[in-house]
Chain A
Amino acid sequence: MKELSKPNRWLTAVLLAPTTLWFLFMLILPLIVILIFSFGERAAVGGYGGGFTFEHYLNLPARLKAFQNTMTFAPIGTLLCLLVAYPLAYYLALKVDRRYKLVLLVLVIVPFWTSLLIRTYAWIYLLGGRGIPSLLELIGFEGVRLINTPGAVMIGIVYGYLPLMVFPIFVSLEKLDRSLLEASSDLGGSPFKTFMQITLPLSMPGIATGCMLVFILLMGEFLIPAFLGGGKIFFIGNALVDLFLQSRNWPFGSAISVTLVVIMLVTVSLYMRMTLRSNTGRDESLM
């Protein structure tokens, strides 16, 4: 690479300036402010009152239920998404005729880009008294309650985040070298063995990416428990909305946000380490 000439450097700096400003003022500065707030006293009228205290971090157990719910629903929801998404991604990547592949894939992705708000509230209908429960009544199951149960929240989660899981798995399966599959079956490997020893390991990067994306977004989820959990099942996101917009306890809310971000960062770095290791593992096995 040639050394950039001086005008070129100026041009690069100018082109990057707006983005840099945005990162500084809309990402880095706000995160620093939240960190400072989380160690501050609460002002009499709510908001931030200065000072330095660990009180809010020690007080985190007051919202233990929200953390517990989030930390159970997020991993289980991620796993359910994976279980529902994998067969579909497999089907789309390896079984569908090329002509329909793109259309079918777009059909999976499109819901993710439409309003999660509207898609989630559709389930208030489906799970409410006149929806699926009334159908169940017709075939003899009476008094089934679906809305405002953990099951309803789970359905909402799988429904909302399925597209995000299908896409990366599809991409990794699509890249898979098909001659490996043929070689395996030529050598007498059963379909199950071929899947376990070739398809599944080679789609691991896609699985890892999908799981991480879904898990991180679920950690910050607010709408799904708000609509389908009926106030009984609430996540950290619901606690945060309450603390910032209703009870206005900003320092405590900041402490919870910081904790949430830290949990996410730990997850992401664990993920990075895992995928890096699996990559080097594959390189070694190829040598």
Chain B
Amino acid sequence: MRIYAIAVYLFLYVPIGIIVLFSFNAGRHASELRGLSVQWYGKALSNPFVGDAFFTSLVVALSVAILSSLMGTAAALALQRLKGTMRVLFDGLIYVSVMIPGIVIGIATLVALVTVFDFLNPLLASIWPEGVKPPKLHMGYASVIAAHTLFTMSLVIILVRARIAGMDRALIEASMDLYATPWRTFYQVTLPQIYPAILAGFLLSFTFSFDDFIISFFVAGANTTLPIYIFASIRRGITPEVNAIGTMVLAVSLFLLMSAQFFLRARTYR
């Protein structure tokens, strides 16, 4: 039993280890290990395409994380007051948006947004003052952020709601009995209890957005996120540079995940 478990852990981690190992390859060929060096990290970091892609991914992931933790927390707080049909409807939508494969979200968003833009762009052009170049709506940052947020917002709702369910209701009632305003109750009683879940949701949203390939592939327009760049590079052939970029992406996600775990478990150590 134990040996089996060890074998499964090896199965899970050896491939990741291989990428990390080969990213320190001193040789030029991706599949031949010739000594160790960090030269490919230097190459990757000085590559302007990588820099641009990294910046795009960072902006997108940060916006997604901020938007989803705000909207998700607000919705989770409101949903506990909701009953009946509306509650069932929202629960259904939350689960659909978490379960639906990324590819369907990507396609549906692409098709819908392009249709809406094709309709709006001539309209904008016609009402725009003469001589000024009218704005042209197109796929880009906003469409990726909006599409990622659909999934991550629901994720935050689920995390925060679980935390609210485990919360001590007596504290809220006590606060109300002591004539605290609802805002003060929220700020001094509810928020301190649910913030670990919000933080964990923030970090998981960031990680999801930063790592997502398939949704961005459809809706990023001319923008290239880091996973899209990696995908295109692999198509051209694996190089130690791709491994170095991959290792850095893995390191970012691992760091964020560990922090998320820490906040989710914070309750246990109180």
Contact = CB atoms under 8 A, between A and B. Distances in A.
Contacts of B250: 114-115, 118
Contacts of B261: 106
Interface residues of B, number: 77
Interface string B101-141: 11111011111111100000000000000000000000000
B99 A268 contact: yes
B74 A116 contact: no
Contacts of A113: 204, 207-208, 211, 253, 257
B71 interface: yes
B11 A159 contact: yes
A27 B97 contact: yes
A26 B102 contact: no
Contact of A250 (B31, B111, B214): B111
Interface residues of A, number: 78
B254 A48 contact: no
B217 A241 contact: yes
A37 B111 contact: yes
B5 A122 contact: no
B8 A84 contact: yes
A257 B77 contact: no
Contacts, number: 207
Given A27-B96, A27-B150, A117-B213, A15 B78 contact: yes
A257 B157 CA distance: 27
Interface stretch (A16-24, A51-59, A172-180, A200-208): A16-24
Interface in B173-226: 204, 207-208, 211, 213-214, 217-218
Interface string B5-19: 100110111111011
Contacts of B83: 1
Interface stretch (A4-12, A136-144, A273-281): A4-12
A108 interface: yes
Contacts of A15: 74-75, 77-78
Contacts of A268: 99
A270 B167 CA distance: 34
A219 interface: yes
Given A95-B1, A124-B238, A253-B107, A16 B99 contact: no
A79 interface: no
B150 A22 contact: yes
Contacts of A195: none
Contacts of B150: 22-23, 26-27
Given A117-B227, A122-B15, A227-B234, A130 B32 contact: yes
Given A91-B2, A118-B230, A223-B214, A126 B204 contact: no
Contacts of B8: 84, 88, 162
B12 A111 contact: yes
A19 B16 contact: no
Interface centre among B14, B32, B253 (most CB of A within 10 A): B253
23 contacts: A4-B81, A18-B74, A18-B75, A26-B109, A26-B146, A27-B105, A30-B105, A30-B113, A31-B108, A37-B111, A84-B8, A91-B4, A114-B254, A115-B246, A119-B16, A121-B246, A122-B15, A125-B30, A159-B15, A162-B8, A216-B99, A257-B108, A264-B101
- 10 shortest A-B CB distances, which residue pairs? A220-B101, A30-B108, A122-B15, A15-B78, A30-B112, A19-B75, A115-B211, A15-B74, A118-B246, A33-B112
Given A18-B70, A107-B9, 15 more contacts: A12-B81, A13-B78, A15-B77, A19-B75, A23-B97, A26-B149, A33-B111, A111-B12, A115-B227, A115-B246, A121-B242, A122-B15, A162-B12, A222-B214, A261-B100
